[in-house]
Structure 1
Amino acid sequence: MKIVLPFTGSRGDVQPGLALAVELAGRGHSIEFGAPPNLVPFAAAATASTDGITVVPFGPDTKALLESELVRTRIKARNPRTRLAALAELANFGWDEMTQQLSKMAVGADAVITGTLGQEMAFNTAEAMGVPFIALHYCPIRLNGSMSVIPGRQLPAAVNRATWRLLETTRWRSMKKRENQQRHDLGLRAATAPLPKRISAYGGVEIQAYDGALFPGLEREWANERPFVGFLELVSTATTPGTDIGVGSPLRTWIDDGTAPLYFGFGSMPVRDPQSLVDTIENVCRRNGYRAVVSSGWSALSERIVPGSVLAITGPVDHAAVLPLCRAAVHHGGAGTTAASIRAGLPTMVCWFSADQPFWGAALVRAGAGVSMKFSTLNTGSLTERLATLLADRTASRAQELAASMTPPADAVRASADIVERAFTTSDM
């Protein structure tokens, strides 16, 4: 079977799709994987040892987008109208380019699989071709009564459902014009309902690619409607893209030369003043006797070492290899990074920026395995205070318990591939 996987977003959005692509290719399927131009080298390296996978550019350069004035300023505006307009612009950003690229990718496809972002165009393409549609969700994004749209708040089920319904309607209104233009071009009737209803009516599958244990009640509520499989992760191998962590490497030597360090990394989130951030981390570590590894992510950060205190590194990091060598993790709360720090059994501090990140911070607080705060409030005082809670024995113990309850990555990937293959069978009936 030919399966196309158009993925856009940051590395955390793309990596779960790559994990599934590798498994499906190993089962004999032909895979065409679309990745943002800035992540094509990463995707190609991650799949280099697997036959049957072709990686092609798809959509805009997401690193440039995250560093744009739209994302850095307007989407965070205090004026609600400005923010809503920015969100609508972001939802439509690169739409025409991506729909054209997807049309070429999808020729002869037997299924379409996509991530959380860009589901509308992928679904319309699958519907026009009459092939199975599968989406990977990296956090709860559909109507439910178990979880509030306000992170950390417990609200009545009816209120939760009403607010999720409002979000669905708002999203539909912002996408309706472009969606229906694409549907017209594909020979489809104009859509008259939000995407979740159309996916359900079509028989599409929305895989919850995270552990349901982090959202009590939600797994029971959705049952088989939206199957939970666990976090999808690439298997860490010698070819996995990331800073060298092998015995004798500079990073491994520094880590082994003292007490287990804290890990700091903010992934694809561009930090406005990365040098000031490192100075804050150095100050806190020096005062409290901590050591820290600081990953540059997509921020401009020079590689340097502060003797006995902080090691700042540049380039990609293989979390599966680095995090188990650390004492705790401090990061932006992306789904993939959160999964990696939980998997490593580390108490985790989420310094969130936007999107789903505060939900992951709230989930860790609820589980007793971490703390959470807005990145913009991070300073010497707030970091010192929260690290005291993070490094307490009770938090570390709960983090270990949570890690033991997680679905093994290989099982999660296999379960997802099984769902995809069952979708073929269902569509043939």
Structure 2
Amino acid sequence: MKFVMPFTGSRGDVQPGLVLASELSARGHEVTFGAPPNLVAFAEAATAGRTSVSVVPFGPDTRALLESDLVRTRIKSKNLRTRWAASAELANFGWDDMAESVLSMGAHADMAIAGTLGQELVFNYAESQSIPFAALHYCPIRSNRSMSVVPSRTMPGVVNRATWRILESMRWSSMKKRENAQRRALGLENASRPLPERIASYGGIEIQAYDSAFFPGLRQEWADRRPFVGFLEPDGGESSGSTGVLGSGSIPGSPLRSWIESGTAPVYFGFGSMPVKDPTGLVSMIEDVCARGGYRAVVSSGWSTLDERIDADSSVAVVGSVDHGALFPLCRAAVHHGGAGTTAASVRAGLPTMVCWFSADQPFWGAALERTGAGCSAKFVELDRDILAAGIETLMRPDTASRARQLAAAMTSPADTRRAAVRLIEGAVHQNS
């Protein structure tokens, strides 16, 4: 079988697709995988050795987008009209180029698979070709009774469902013009309903690529309509495509490994691809808080600009991009932005976790950790020394550590997750043939 997988977004949006692409390749299938230009090298490294996976550039440079005025300023404006216009611009950013790319990427494909971002244009292509469609969701984004749209609040089920539907309608209003222009170019009739309704009517699959243990009641509510498989992560020992200090830093005798083993297990700090305005000031805050509490820390620069330093006499090491699967088992707690993949990695390692969220699905993961007792949450822009110190104190409590280990034990293994996802994908193709 041949699969087309056009993915856009940050590393956290792309990596689950790469894990699935590698598993499909291992099963003898061909995959054309689209990755943002800034993540093509990462995608190639993550699928190294999978000769039936072809990686091609797809969509805009997402690092440049995340560092743009649109994302840094306008989408966070206190003016609701400015924020709504920026959200619509972001949803449509690069649409025409991506729609054109899907046409060439998807030639002769047996199925189209999208990430959470870009589902609309990939679904329209799949419908035009009468091939099956699947999307990977990294947190709850569809109407339901179990989860509030406002992550930190508990609402009646009827209110939850109604507010989710309002959001779906708002999304459809912002995308309608672009979608229908693409549909007409593909020879399809104009759509008149939001995407979730069309996917359901078409028989598409919305795979929940995260663990239901974080969101009680949702698996039972959605049942087979939106199947849960668990987090799509590289298994232990597999490459995550990282070019950073771990794996190499996990080798005994390497500078970081030697630093970690020279004292108490450190707290991990990292904010991935999130735009941090003052990374040097953030490191200074971390140093002060850790000195106050007597902690050691590993700070990963992610997409921020920081000078790397591993000093045997310092309680804080600053490193580049890291392989979470190698580093987290060597730590005692984690503080990060709350992306789905990073949350999965820190919880799977049994680490009590503080989410300092920016936007998108991140506050949902912060609220989930608070709800399960496995961590705490704060808004990044409100972060100061006192909030950070209080958060780390929460992570160090025995009950928080115990809850984190319990949550880790409840998670689906990466191998079982991959097998479940592939069974759903292959089953959809067989059903269509």
CA contact (8 A) 1:139 1:335 kept: yes
1:299 to 283, 293, 304: 304
CA distance in 1, matches of 2:288, 2:323: 26
How far did residue 236 of structure 1 move? 4.3
| Structure 2 counterpart of 1:85 | 85
Q: Which of 417, 423, 426 pairs up with 1:418?
A: 423
> Secondary structure of 1:372's partner?
strand
Match of 1:313 in 2: 319
Report what 1:359 is aligned to.
364
Q: Counterpart of 2:28?
A: 28
TM-score by length of 1: 0.98
Contact 2:256/2:310 (<8 A) preserved: no
Give, in whole Å, the separation in 2 of the partners of 1:308 and 1:299. Answer: 21
* CA drift at 1:305: 3.6
Matching of residues 324-403 of structure 1 within 5 Å = 324-403=329-408
Over residues 14-38 of structure 1, what are the superposed CA-to-partner deviations in whole Å (9 max), with x where a residue is unaligned?
0000000000001110010000000
Q: Distance between the aligned counterparts of 2:238 and 2:17, measured in 1?
A: 20
* Distance apart, 1:382 and its partner CA: 1.0
Deviation at 1:237, TM superposition (A): 3.3
CA displacement, residues 323-343 of structure 1 (integer Å, 9 cap, x when unaligned): 010000000000000000010
Aligned partners of 1:18 and 1:234 also within 8 Å: no
Separation in 1 of the partners of 2:427 and 2:109?
16
Q: Deviations over 1:259-302 (max 9, x none)?
A: 00000000010110000000000111112110000000011111
Q: Partner of 2:137 in structure 1?
A: 137
Alignment partner, residue 151 of structure 1: 151
Distance 1:178 1:188 in 2: 13
**What do residues 56-90 of structure 1 show as CA deviations (whole Å, max 9, x unaligned)?**
00000000000000000000001111110000000
- Residue by residue, what CA displacement relative to the aligned partner does 1:184-228 show, whole Å, maximum 9, x if unpaired? 000001001000000000000000000111101111000011000
Kept in 2: contact 1:236–1:318 (CA 8 A): no
Give the distance between the partners of 1:377 and 1:224, measured in 2 at CA.
Answer: 40
Give the AA of the match of 2:322: V
Q: Distance in 1 between matches of 2:232 and 2:9?
A: 16
Count residues with an aligned counterpart.
427
For 1:169 and 1:129, the matched residues in 2 are separated by 26
Looking at structure 2, the residues matched to 294 and 216 of structure 1 have their Cα atoms a distance apart, in angstroms, of 32
Partners of 2:128 and 2:253 in 1: how far apart? Answer: 54
Match of 2:200 in 1: 200
Q: Does 1:288 align with 2:293?
A: yes
- The separation in 2 between residues aligned to 1:104 and 1:366, in whole angstroms, is 45
Counterpart position of 2:432: 427
- Provide the secondary structure at the position in 1 that maps to 2:34: strand
Residue in structure 2 matched with residue 13 of structure 1 by the alignment = 13
Q: Deviations over 1:376-402 (max 9, x none)?
A: 111111111111111100000100011
**DSSP 3-state at the match of 2:377:** strand
Residue 261 in structure 1 maps to residue 290 in structure 2: no
One-letter amino acid of the structure 1 residue matched with residue 74 of structure 2: R
Q: C-alpha displacement at 1:161, in angstroms?
A: 0.9
Aligned-residue Cα RMSD (Å) equals 0.9
Q: Which residue of 2 aligns with 1:171?
A: 171
- Distance (whole Å) between structure 2 residues aligned to residue 201 and residue 239 of structure 1: 38
AA aligned to 2:205 is V
Distance in 2 between residues matched to 1:383 and 1:398, nearest whole Å:
20
Decide whether the 8 Å contact of 1:365 with 1:371 is kept in 2: yes
- State the one-letter code of the partner of 1:86: A
In the alignment, is the contact (CA less than 8 A) between 1:349 and 1:372 conserved in 2? yes
Cα 1:210/1:239, change in 2 over 3 Å: closer
Whole-Å separation in 1 of the counterparts to 2:432 and 2:256? 50
Deviations 1:303-339 (A, max 9, x none): 124523100002x211011001000000000000000
Query: The residue matched to 1:350 in structure 2 has which SS?
Result: strand
**Map of 2:125 onto structure 1:** 125
Counterpart of 1:71? Answer: 71
Query: Which ranges of structure 2 fall in alignment gaps of 5 or more residues?
Result: none
Aligned runs of 1:231-242 on 2, under 5 Å?
Answer: 231-237=231-237, 239-240=239-240, 241=242, 242=244
1:200-279 paired onto structure 2 within 5 Å:
200-237=200-237, 239-240=239-240, 241=242, 242-243=244-245, 244=248, 245-279=250-284
Greater Cα offset, 292-301 or 243-252: 243-252
- Contact kept? 1:3, 1:112, Cα under 8 Å: yes
Structure 2 Cα separation of the partners of residues 84 and 341 of structure 1? 33
User: Which ranges of 4 or more aligned residues in structure 1 deviate by more than 3 Å?
Assistant: 236-240
CA–CA distance in 1 between the matches of 2:252 and 2:121?
46
Decide whether aligned partners of structure 1 residues 239 and 360 sit closer, same or farther in structure 2, where only a CA change above 3 A counts: closer
Deviations for 1:107-151, whole angstroms, at most 9, x for unmatched residues?
A: 111100010000000000000001010000000000001110001
Q: Distance in 2 between matches of 1:228 and 1:39?
A: 27
